[in-house]
Amino acid sequence: MIMDQLRIKEYTNPKPRIIVPHDIYRYNTVIRKIKNGPYSTTCECLSHYQRTDTIYISSALMQQLHLQNNHHYSMRFIGDTCVITYTLGIFIANSRQLHRSAHQLKEIVQVGEKYGFITYVFGYKDVDLSKQKIQAYQYYKQQWLTTNVDIPFVIYNRIPNRKLEAHHQIKKIKQGLQSTSIIFNHDFFNKWQVYEYLFQDNESRHLLPQAIFQPSEQSVKDWLNSTSIYLKPLQKYRGEESYLIVKRKEQFILIQTDAPPNSKEMYFPSFDLLKTRRFPKGFQHYVMEEAHALFTYHDSEIIFRVNSNKNENNKWVTTLIAAYQVRHSNRSNLVPLSNLFTEKEEEAFQIKIAKMAVTLSKILENRLDKNLGELAFDVAIDKEKRTWLLDVYSRPSWRILDHGTLYPFALDMIEHLFRYSFYLHNQKRMNLS
């Protein structure tokens, strides 16, 4: 995979024209297009005998392609196209995660190629901070190869869980990577901190159910006398799970909300037995939230998964609105929105939820002061048609890639990862100039 490092020099010309060093031109005489991330256009290609490290690009093309004058770019000449090339590092835990997610990662790599990206996948043990190198996995010619490369300028954090993220070696490597690279999706969220940020903002407060931080045993018991509740762990790496607790007559029903499909409900004849068996250390590591009676379809509650992504202009856009029929913790039963709403209702709902997702994304980005490239929200509607925000995720699942109906939305989400990475590359380039 041959790349040329060339300095771009702008010259005034209204025609879409590039002038490349003759040594490159004689091997690439059929160049008819030029591509820079999400921007591409046709062009005329000429040659010059001046500086061998310089490509001259007309002012017309510079504006179209959003290029920066007098900067070095990596370029590949593929067929009839000059492709300005970028790198993206995907930071994972280890090779086991690569093997588990190989299919999804291959899809991501292939989408990146459309935007001129070479994608490197690496774990914390693959990083040599002293040499500023990584021993990375690269999907090339239908196979995963290992290669030793410079640490990429932009890194997409996909450490899979809080326990691994809290590992001292991973924290040390992440800190080292931050000194030279931009990492987006930096940390998992502290659920209570997110709740407080959203509660403090007038645009989002009305979406939040009532909640108590580190509830007492008596508070949990009192709430269950009048409503169902969610218990969500503050820091999931401690081992706590998320639960829905429902009281029916004198029985307490416990449902693990993030358990594998086909998990069973657990029944307890008394609150004391529930606490002793499932919460022997109390509730100090949880947030308790009121659980409302939700909109149902065929006797099953409906949860809406909404994803938002940053684009090449650093703007939030909504990339997915999907409805799931919830049976216990299994969300595999996708329900078309047209089954839930009339055509007019569906259009209004999509506009409302898309706007809500963008608003929430902006609030969290401003309050957390981090590079957030993607977010996911669990949203519900109660029987009075009020909208509730149930949860926020900093790293949406890749499993959407395996769902045929949602595959086009999954591709759009992945494309936005590279669009945002393109933006971050250009920001870093401007900061270095």
The structural domains of the chain, with segments of one domain joined by +, span 4-79, 87-186, 189-208+294-394, 210-291
Dihedral sign for Cα 259, 226, 302, 400, please.
Answer: negative
Kindly report the number of other CB atoms within 10 A of residue 423's CB atom.
21
Which residue type sits at 114?
K
Q: Specify the length of the chain in residues.
A: 433
Q: Do the beta carbons of residue 8 and residue 67 sit within 8 Å?
A: yes
Domains 87-186 and 189-208+294-394 share a fold: no
How many Å is the maximal CA-CA distance in the chain?
Answer: 88
Q: How far apart are CA 215 and CA 97, in angstroms?
A: 35
Kindly report the number of other CB atoms within 10 A of residue 392's CB atom.
18
pLDDT value at residue 261:
56
Half-sphere exposure in the Cβ direction for 92 (13 Å, CA)? 19
Type and span of the H or E element at 162: helix 162-165
Question: What are the two backbone dihedrals, phi and then psi, of residue 67, each rounded to the nearest 5 degrees?
Answer: -95, 155
Question: What are the two backbone dihedrals, phi and then psi, of residue 203, each rounded to the nearest 5 degrees?
Answer: -80, -15
Pick the CATH number of 189-208+294-394 from 1.10.3230.20, 2.40.50.140, 3.30.470.20, 3.40.50.970: 3.30.470.20
Q: How far apart are CA 363 and CA 201, in angstroms?
A: 8
pLDDT value at residue 262:
59
Alpha helices, DSSP H only, in 292-381? 343-368
Question: What are the two backbone dihedrals, phi and then psi, of residue 78, each rounded to the nearest 5 degrees?
Answer: -120, 110
For 108-165, write each residue's pLDDT tens digit: 999 999 999 999 999 999 999 999 999 999 999 899 999 999 999 999 999 998 889 9
Q: What kind of architecture, by CATH, is found in domain 4-79? A: Beta Barrel (2.40)
Q: Do the beta carbons of residue 112 and residue 416 sit within 8 Å?
A: no
Parallel/antiparallel/unpaired status of strands 251-256 and 243-248: antiparallel
Parallel/antiparallel/unpaired status of strands 117-122 and 81-91: parallel
CA distances from 177 to 96, 125, 156, 428 (A): 22, 13, 11, 14
Alpha helices, DSSP H only, in 37-94? 59-65
Determine the topology of domain 87-186 in CATH.
Answer: Rossmann fold (3.40.50)
DSSP code, position 265:
P
For 191-248, write each residue's pLDDT tens digit: 889 999 999 999 999 999 999 999 999 999 999 999 999 998 877 655 568 899 999 8
CA angle 60, 65, 66 (to 5 degrees): 100
Q: Do the beta carbons of residue 235 and residue 162 sit within 8 Å?
A: yes
pLDDT value at residue 162:
85
pLDDT value at residue 398:
83
How far, rounded to the nearest angstrom, does the alpha carbon of residue 238 sit from its chain's CA centroid?
Answer: 24
Q: Do the beta carbons of residue 48 and residue 58 sit within 8 Å?
A: no
Q: Do the beta carbons of residue 241 and residue 256 sit within 8 Å?
A: yes
Nearest to 284 by CA among 205, 220, 359, 206: 220
Kindly report the number of other CB atoms within 10 A of residue 111's CB atom.
20
Below-50 pLDDT ranges, the chain: 1, 328-330
Q: How far apart are CA 216 and CA 286, in angstroms?
A: 10
Question: What are the two backbone dihedrals, phi and then psi, of residue 371, each rounded to the nearest 5 degrees?
Answer: -80, 105
